[in-house]
Amino acid sequence: MIDVLFFARYREVLATDRLSLNWQDHWQSVADVRSHLIARGEPWTVLDDPTMMCALNEDMCSLDTAVRPGDNLAFFPMVTGG
């Protein structure tokens, strides 16, 4: 399993703030998990966003960061605090 969290605009468009996905053996990076979700079609294509940010286990990461079963992954739009 891998837990995936969504924030802000993504959370609203997807109408969910988290889900657990069954682990797929071919997954290697954050990009693979994202592709799996985008392949579901609307509204998951919201994640097909060149400015998307992500965090793995509560640290900022990039699409090529390696993922493992049990990880906590988060997808969110560009941050706008301050």
41 near other proteins, rule: CB under 8 A: no
Rounded CA separation 2/19 (Å): 8
Q: Tell the smallest beta-carbon distance from residue 30 to other proteins (Å).
A: 15
Contacts of 78 (CB under 8 A, 6+ apart): 51, 52, 53
Q: Which residue of 3, 7, 21, 31 would you call a contact of other proteins, by CB under 8 A?
A: 7
18 near other proteins, rule: CB under 8 A: no
CA gyration radius, the chain: 12
74 near other proteins, rule: CB under 8 A: yes
Nearer to other proteins, 41 or 82 (CB): 82
Rounded CA separation 51/21 (Å): 24
What residues make contact with other proteins under the rule CB under 8 A? 5, 7-9, 51, 55, 58-60, 74, 76-82
